[in-house]
C-alpha cells in the first residue's frame, strides 16, 4: 500500500484537527493513522497524519493545494511518499560497528531505505563497503583541506540524490556552513549519554566519574558540538570493576541500536524538530 505522510506543527488552537482532517476528507483521502501532541508549556501543536495514496491526484497538485491551506491556517509542514525511499549516505572513519549494522539492516529490509554510497576520511572501511557492494569514497581531511573535502562531500551527496546523511562514528566535526545547509538532514551518534560526557573519549570520562549507567545518543548535527536535538538514547548498567575498555565494548551495542532507531524514525517521517527538542511519533503507524 502506497502512503502519504504529512508532518504538521503550528500554534495550538481549537479546530485544528477538524480543519486538517477535513481538508483530506474533502479530497477523498483515507486517513490510515493520525497522531497528535500538544506542548502545553509552549502552546504548540504537532501532528503526523498518514494517508492512503490511491492516486486521487498528482502529488504536486496535492502539495500546491495544501500549501494554500497551510498558509491560511499558519501551519509549518512537510510531506513524504512511501513509494520514494529515503537515500541515505553513510560517513565513517575507522570504527565499523554502526555502519555495518545499518548496511545489514538495509540488506535485510529492516530499514526501508537505500544506502547508495559510503564516504570515509580514512580508507580503513573500504573493504566493508565492498562486502555490501557499495561504492566507497575516500576523502581524507586535514586542517588545511577541510573546506575542499566538504565541497567534495556535498558534490557526492548531490550526485547520488541523498536525502539523509548519517555520521556512523564519523569522527570529524562538520563545519557550521555544512550543518546549516543540511539542517535536520544529518544524524550523528555520540558514544555518551548527552548532555553528560560531551566531546572526546566519553567512556573514559564515564569511567573516571564511576557512573553506573553508560549510554549513547543519536541527535541531529548542529554547529554546536554534541548540542543538536536529541532523537534517541539508550543506556546499559555497568559495574565498578568494568574497565574503560569494557565500557567501550558495552557501548558499541548501545550505539548500534540507538542509531538504527533514530535513522528508522527519520526515514519513516516520524520526527518534528521543535527548537532544541524533537517530537518523535511512535513506530508502526
Catalytic positions are 226
Task: Compute the Cα dihedral for 270, 108, 217, 181 and give only its sign.
Answer: negative
- Where are the alpha helices (H) located in 34-182, listed in sequence order? 59-73, 97-107, 126-131, 146-159, 176-181
- Count of C-beta atoms within a 10 Å radius of residue 72: 9
Give the C-alpha separation, 70 to 38, whole Å: 18
User: Residue 43: left if φ>0, alpha if ψ -120 to 50, beta else—which one?
Assistant: left
- CB under 8 Å to 44, separation ≥6 — which residues? 9, 10, 11, 12, 38, 274
* CB-CB contact of 259 with 190 (8 Å): no
Q: Within 13 Å, how many C-alpha atoms sit on residue 26's CB side?
A: 10
Amino acid at each position: 500500500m502506497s502512503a502519504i505522510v504529512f508532518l504538521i506543527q503550528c500554534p495550538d488552537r481549537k479546530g485544528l484537527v477538524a480543519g486538517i482532517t477535513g481538508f483530506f476528507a474533502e479530497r477523498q483521502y483515507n486517513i490510515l493513522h493520525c497522531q497528535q501532541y500538544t506542548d502545553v508549556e509552549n502552546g504548540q501543536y504537532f501532528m503526523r497524519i498518514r494517508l492512503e495514496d490511491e492516486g486521487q491526484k498528482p502529488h504536486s497538485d496535492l502539495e500546491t493545494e495544501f500549501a494554500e491551506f497551510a498558509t491560511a491556517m499558519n501551519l509549518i509542514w512537510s510531506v513524504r511518499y512511501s513509494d520514494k525511499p529515503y537515500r541515505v549516505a553513510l560517513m565513517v572513519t575507522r570504527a565499523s560497528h554502526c555502519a555495518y549494522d545499518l548496511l545489514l539492516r538495509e540488506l535485510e529490509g529492516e530499514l526501508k531505505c537505500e544506502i547508495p554510497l559510503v564516504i570515509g576520511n580514512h580508507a580503513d572501511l573500504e573493504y566493508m563497503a565492498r562486502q555490501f557492494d557499495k561504492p566507497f569514497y575516500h576523502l581524507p581531511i586535514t586542517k588545511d583541506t577541510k573546506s575542499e573535502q566538504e565541497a567534495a562531500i556535498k558534490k557526492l551527496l548531490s550526485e547520488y540524490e541523498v536525502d539523509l546523511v548519517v555520521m556512523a562514528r564519523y569522527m570529524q566535526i562538520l563545519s557550521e556552513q555544512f550543518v546549516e545547509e543540511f539542517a535536520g538532514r544529518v544524524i550523528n551518534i555520540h558514544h555518551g549519554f548527552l548532555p553528560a560526557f560531551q566531546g572526546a573519549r566519553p567512556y573514559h570520562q564515564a569511567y573516571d566519574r564511576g557512573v553506573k549507567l553508560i549510554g549513547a545518543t543519536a541527535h541531529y548535527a548542529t554547529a554546536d558540538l554534541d548540542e543538536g536535538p536529541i532523537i534517541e538514547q539508550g543506556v546499559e548498567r555497568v559495574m565498578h570493576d568494568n574497565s574503560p575498555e569494557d565500557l567501550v565494548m558495552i557501548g558499541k551495542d548501545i550505539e548500534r541500536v540507538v542509531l538504527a532507531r533514530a535513522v528508522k524514525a527519520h526515514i519513516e517521517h516520524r520526527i518534528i524538530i521543535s527548537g532544541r527538542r524533537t517530537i518523535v511519533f511512535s513506530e508502526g503507524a
